[in-house]
Structure 1
Amino acid sequence: MNILLSNDDGFLAPGINQLREALLNVAHVTTVAPDRDCSGASNSLTLRNPLRMTTHGENFYSVNGTPTDCVHLGLGLYAHDPDMVISGINAGPNMGDDVLYSGTVAAAMEGRFLGHPALAVSLACHHHDTERHYATAVAVVLQLLQYVQNYPDQSHMILNVNVPNVTLEQLRGWRMTRLGNRHRSEPVIRTQDPRGREIFWIGPPGDAADAGDGTDFHAISQQCVSITPIHADLTRHQALADSQRWLEACHVKA
């Protein structure tokens, strides 16, 4: 199996390096990751500045760009016709509304745009956690790789995988889930730099709002692996008929 591996935490992040070492035992792996932390980059592309690649070992590269840039360059220049694109392991969950901002999910989505099945993998740890069980998430990916080739919708496969921050022995199962929702994020934090100039920080994300049974939030709270099939079609299909009637009632002229 040929795999293109990327992330949004940067090429030095422990998640991507531990996953890379494990995948090298079962696959040919090309790793192309940002040269810095690009969390929250979403699907952004670098269009106004040149991109540069730096080699860090055999088939291991960093790019001065976004996760989406990395997948473009990896698939266009270096990957050996990959069977799959894997993004992660992210340090922190990507659940609910997070997927709209996540560079981890964006890298997987770009792989799908460019014709390859994709996994986005996140460890649902938090900044205050003293222990981060990346080994559990690595084991989950290795198990998934045994079965994803039988996934019923290969041509559209993007699986958003969140793994609870527990040991492998503490996992309580696997769940197919839908995306939950968060409360709106905390207000912007307004402060000053050491020279008295005004600066701002984006507030932290809100707590879970829709976290009931069947959601990714609920699965993680039960120490279960959450797997959510996602796609990039943002059309609200159930609103098309009502929206068409509304437009006709407006008597809009061509």
Structure 2
Amino acid sequence: MNILVTNDDGVYAPGLAALAAQMRHLGDVFIAAPTTEQSGVGHSITYLTPLVSREILRDDRHWAWAVDGSPADCVKLAISQLCPVRPDLVVSGINNGLNAGINVLYSGTVAAAIEGAFFGVRSIAVSLEYDPHADFDAAAVVARNVIGGILRNDKHQGSLFNINIPTVATAEPAAVKVVPMGLEQYGSTYEKRQDPGGRDYYWATWTPPNDLRPDGTDVTELRAGHITVTPLHFDLSRRDLLKQMPKWELKA
């Protein structure tokens, strides 16, 4: 199996190295990741400037491609140009911080996986709860085990999954829950401050919701210390309305 590994924390992030090491138990690994951190860029794509990549060496051997672009750029360029063979799997992470709930819509980590799915390649995003002393090596072992289970059961090319790992799961065994993404709103307020020149500026608080729905979602299960797996798709069409709207007889 040929595996493309990427992330949004940058090519030198410890989570990327840990994930790549564990993915080598599953197949041949190629790495293409942003030169610098790209957290929160979503599914942005570079169109108006050249997309530069350079080779990263370790022990005088090729280790990765560093791409001066977004996570989605990395996957698009790697599949189209950089990888010597087409990957069978794209794995994005390990992100330093959870990508649960509506964070999925902002996440560069998840966007990289979506880009892989665009190409018809099975793709998986992996994120770990933020901790200044995060154990990415342990999280990578968890990710390898969960991904291995997905590969044994999912036979559809182009399928898309989002894995989130709570900190507790790197220290002791944790249950894996297959759940939908939560829809509670994060970070709806800003803190107003002033710079030394007296000009106002605003800092996003990005606090998680306190009032959670009782139904099991990735957000609630992560709070309970469980690993979460969410199958995703990128088709945003409202298919229920597609069936109704012809009756509206809309006219220009």
TM over 0.5: yes
Inter-partner Cα distance in structure 2 for 1:113 and 1:193:
43
- Using a 3 Å threshold, how does the CA distance of structure 1 residues 239 and 14 change in structure 2: closer, same or farther? same
Equivalent position of 2:71 in the other structure: 67
SS in 1 for 2:9: coil
- Using a 3 Å threshold, how does the CA distance of structure 1 residues 89 and 106 change in structure 2: closer, same or farther? same
Kindly indicate whether the alpha-carbon contact (under 8 Å) linking 1:208 and 1:217 is maintained by their aligned counterparts in 2: no
Q: CA deviation at 1:229?
A: 0.1
Kindly indicate whether the alpha-carbon contact (under 8 Å) linking 1:186 and 1:206 is maintained by their aligned counterparts in 2: no
Kindly indicate whether the alpha-carbon contact (under 8 Å) linking 1:6 and 1:70 is maintained by their aligned counterparts in 2: yes
What is the 5 A alignment of 1:242-253? 242-245=244-247, 247-248=248-249, 252-253=250-251
SS in 2 for 1:228: strand
Q: CA deviation at 1:169?
A: 4.8
Q: CA deviation at 1:211?
A: 4.7
Equivalent of 1:154, from 150, 153, 156? 156
Inter-partner Cα distance in structure 1 for 2:214 and 2:96:
24
Inter-partner Cα distance in structure 2 for 1:108 and 1:153:
17
What is the 5 A alignment of 1:1-254? 1-57=1-57, 58-79=62-83, 80-125=85-130, 129-152=131-154, 154-207=156-209, 209-245=211-247, 247-248=248-249, 252-254=250-252
Larger displacement relative to structure 2 (94-103 or 160-169): 160-169
SS in 1 for 2:102: helix
Q: Percent identity?
A: 34
Q: CA deviation at 1:35?
A: 1.0
SS in 2 for 1:185: coil
Q: CA deviation at 1:220?
A: 1.1
Inter-partner Cα distance in structure 1 for 2:73 and 2:146:
26
Inter-partner Cα distance in structure 2 for 1:211 and 1:93:
19
Q: CA deviation at 1:131?
A: 2.7
Give the aligned residue type for 1:53: S
Kindly indicate whether the alpha-carbon contact (under 8 Å) linking 1:29 and 1:59 is maintained by their aligned counterparts in 2: no
Identify unmatched segments of 5+ residues in structure 2: none
Inter-partner Cα distance in structure 1 for 2:199 and 2:50:
31
Kindly indicate whether the alpha-carbon contact (under 8 Å) linking 2:169 and 2:226 is maintained by their aligned counterparts in 1: no
Kindly indicate whether the alpha-carbon contact (under 8 Å) linking 2:42 and 2:105 is maintained by their aligned counterparts in 1: yes
Alignment TM-score, normalising by the size of structure 1: 0.88
* RMSD between superposed Cα atoms in Å: 2.1
Q: CA deviation at 1:200?
A: 3.3
Give the aligned residue type for 1:4: L
Alignment TM-score, normalising by the size of structure 2: 0.88
SS in 2 for 1:38: coil
Q: CA deviation at 1:242?
A: 4.8
Kindly indicate whether the alpha-carbon contact (under 8 Å) linking 1:133 and 1:166 is maintained by their aligned counterparts in 2: no
Identify unmatched segments of 5+ residues in structure 1: none
Q: CA deviation at 1:202?
A: 3.2
Give the aligned residue type for 2:15: G
Kindly indicate whether the alpha-carbon contact (under 8 Å) linking 2:6 and 2:75 is maintained by their aligned counterparts in 1: yes
- Using a 3 Å threshold, how does the CA distance of structure 1 residues 96 and 195 change in structure 2: closer, same or farther? same
Give the aligned residue type for 2:225: Q
